[in-house]
Structure 1
Amino acid sequence: MQPASKANQRIARISAHLHPPNFQMEESSGLRHANCQAKGTAPGFKVAILGAAGGIGQPLAMLMKINLLVSVLHLYDVVNTPGVTADISHMDTVRGFREEALVVMDLVIIPAGVPRKPGMTRDDLFNINAGIVRTLCEGIVKSCPKAIVNLISNPVNSTVPIAAEVFKRAGTYDPKRMLGVTTLNVVRANTFVAEVLGLDPREVDVPVVGGHAGVTILLLLSQVKPPCSFTPQEIEYLISRIQNGGTEVVE
């Protein structure tokens, strides 16, 4: 291959990363945006994050970029996506990286939506975030209906059923592939119980069941590991602290 041809391909490759939405290559070049990924990229999960420019989406994108199980990462948001895309793509990992949203994905994670503000309940978010989740799921149904869908958008207790209805109408609903992400409650429970017990949170395991909104969050203190006991005052404190952890952050 001539030096000039190599240079042109290198420039085209860089352009593909800097301007993915508008990038078009001539057929004769032999280079397509789909092929623009780092050498050494191993087969793995193709992951899309919808809402990648938000307060949850950006750190989530970073974690996915360094995850060895992720081979291709797609980011989508309604604002600021090119900047976030550029920033995350600069990380020195070998995972392939693209900005298209939903192209044959294995896993779609949805943190999109408006955040809860002081004085707002999760119910106040419903009218806005319900429509956002419905619209995004309609896109998933068209592009990658068999993908695993992880919903973070609040109120999770309500956005998961909405997403399920979209898939049911399309005839592609699989309850094993649609999950509401409520692990945050477990993380908080482990932290707060460890504080009460004076233990390392990494050594504490507190089962949490139910939903992800206030009184629907049920922590099983009788099943805590390592086995321990609590005073009535400690139980009251822990239940209130864990159920209202999200409100504490918002306020």
Structure 2
Amino acid sequence: MKFVTNEKLTIIGAAGMIGSNMAQTALMMNLTPNICLYDPFGPALEGVAEELNHCAFKGVNITWTTNIREALTGSSYIVSSGGAPRKAGMTREDLLKGNAEIARQLGLDIKTYCPDVKHVIVVFNPADITGLVTLLYSGLKPTQVSTLAALDSTRLQSELARHFGIPASEIHNCRTYGGHGEQMAVFASTTLINDRKLSDLIGTPEMPAEDWNELKQRVIQGGKHIIELRGRSSFQSPAYLSICMIAAAMGGTAFEWPAGMYIQDGKFGHITMAMETTITAQGITFKEVTGTSEEESELEESYTHLCKLRDEVIEMGILPPVKEWNKLNAHIK
């Protein structure tokens, strides 16, 4: 059996719906024969491990533990969904304090038990903030920590496919940037519908402006809609996309949907948010986002919103002031 790597992958929060689906997806994609499942909830975690063993994946060694030191020691790759899930009536931002504290401990544990880890993906919300907190306390480079943001762009693709009545494969370069939350910036100027620019179609009979505005709101509220339909937050889509991200970091197919990463400087400095990114074995990199003046204004508003959340976390005492971040992580300017 050929695997992408033989190095250890640790999945944190593996007893939950996202985590257990991440584990199964990683095994189905033949990422590595060395997968460790971690969760503080032992019985449920053991149940996940048992089910995965019952799948009879060839050539793999599935281990599980409720001990974070055991889970992280020797790990080269980490994907964490180990935060509180979003429930009905909640926004991603409502999870801020508790999950930011979990992210701080995750960062400290990484620094203590696996400082040589190659890449970490943070999935639990609000991911822009939990990813930032994890990065700062882990001591890792900004290129080594990324957050799940692609789900907003894939939701945009899905909504457009439904609107135009065509397969999603005929819609290209759907992009949302900024925060993975209520203030995300949904771009039209990047998207092609059968090689036609979406921005040229908006305001025509094919895509009336009112329809576009309603579609944007459905994208922004996509996670809420899943909760309304299923009675629980999304798990299949975030699990799959996050494992595609870690596969890219292992040296598999590059991941070119937007992901969240830390921006050191410039007009969007000192925050983690979705940009035009690529994840490869060398880590996550980004390039500047360009769009219409309206789109860029929405992106700036999204950045401002994230800065407010960041500053709330600073006021809570979970993070130090920005000017002191370099003392916490030498890779932060």
Q: Where in structure 2 are the equivalents of 1:20-39 lying within 5 Å?
A: none
State the 1:249 CA deviation.
2.1
Q: Residue 63 in 1 paired to residue 25 in 2?
A: yes
What's the counterpart of residue 219 of structure 2?
Answer: 242
Cα distance in 2, alignment partners of residues 189 and 111 from structure 1:
23
Greater mean alpha carbon deviation, residues 224-233 or residues 81-90: 224-233
How many Å apart are 1:46 and its aligned residue? 2.0
Amino acid at match of 1:187: T
Calculate the TM-score normalised by the size of structure 1: 0.77
Letter in 1 for 2:116: K
The offset of 1:107, in angstroms, is: 1.1
Supply the AA of the counterpart residue of 1:124.
Answer: D
Matched, 1:139 2:104: no
User: How far off its partner does 1:219 sit?
Assistant: 2.1
- Check the 8 A contact 2:8/2:34 in 1, yes or no: yes
1:118-166 Cα shifts (integer Å, max 9, x gaps): 2222222112111122222221111212321100010112111211220
Q: Normalising to structure 2: TM-score of the pair?
A: 0.59
1:157 aligns with 2:128: yes
Q: Show the counterpart of 1:90.
A: 54
- Residue of structure 2 equivalent to 1:209: 177
Which letter does structure 2 place at the counterpart of 1:237?
Answer: E
- Superposition pairs of residues 40-55 of structure 1, within 5 angstroms: 43-55=5-17
For 2:15 and 2:31, locate their aligned partners in 1 and report how far apart those are by CA, in whole Å: 22
Contact 2:152 2:176 in 1 (8 A): yes
> For structure 2, which runs of at least 5 residues remain unmatched after alignment?
66-70, 203-207, 229-333
Matches of 2:74 and 2:157 in 1, distance apart?
A: 36
Quote how far apart the aligned CAs of 1:67 are: 1.8
Paired residues of 1:133 and 1:162 also in contact (CA < 8 A): yes
2:14 counterpart letter in structure 1? A
1:224-235 to structure 2, matched below 5 A, reads: 224-226=191-193, 227=196, 228=198, 229-230=201-202, 231-235=208-212
In the alignment, the residues of structure 1 paired with residue 6 and residue 192 of structure 2 have an alpha-carbon distance, to the nearest angstrom, of 34
Percent same amino acid at aligned positions?
A: 27
Q: Which amino acid aligns with 2:149?
A: T
Structure 1 residue matching 2:104: 3-state secondary structure: helix
Confirm or deny that 1:78 pairs with 2:40.
Answer: yes
Amino acid at match of 2:178: G
Distance 1:41 1:135 in 2: 35
Name 1:108's counterpart in structure 2.
Answer: 78
Q: Which amino acid in 2 is paired with 1:220?
A: F
User: 1: CA distance between counterparts of 2:11 and 2:51?
Assistant: 15
| Secondary structure of residue in 2 paired with 1:195 | helix
Q: How does 1:126-205 map to 2 (within 5 A)?
A: 126-147=96-117, 148-167=119-138, 172-205=139-172
* 2:13/2:81 contact within 8 Å kept: yes
Give the letter aligned to residue 234 of structure 1.
Answer: D
Q: How far 1:90 moved relative to its partner?
A: 2.3
Q: d(CA) in 1 for partners of 2:136 and 2:179?
A: 18
Residues 23-75 of structure 1, C-alpha deviation per residue, up to 9 Å, x if partnerless?
xxxxxxxxxxxxxxxxx575534211100111211111100112223231110
Gaps of 5+ in 1: 1-39
What is the SS of the residue equivalent to 2:72?
coil
RCO comparison, higher one (Cα < 8 Å, 6+): 2
* SS of the residue 2:140 aligns to: coil
Distance 2:47 2:22 in 1: 15
Instruction: Provide the C-alpha distance between the structure 1 equivalents of 2:116 and 2:160, rounded to a whole number of angstroms.
Output: 38
Contact 1:66–1:95 (8 Å) recurs in 2: no
Task: Decide whether the 8 Å contact of 2:77 with 2:120 is kept in 1.
Answer: yes
Separation in structure 1 between the aligned mates of residue 219 and residue 53 of structure 2, nearest angstrom: 36
SS of match in other structure, 2:17:
coil
Which one has a bigger Cα radius of gyration?
1
Q: Distance in 1 between matches of 2:170 and 2:13?
A: 33
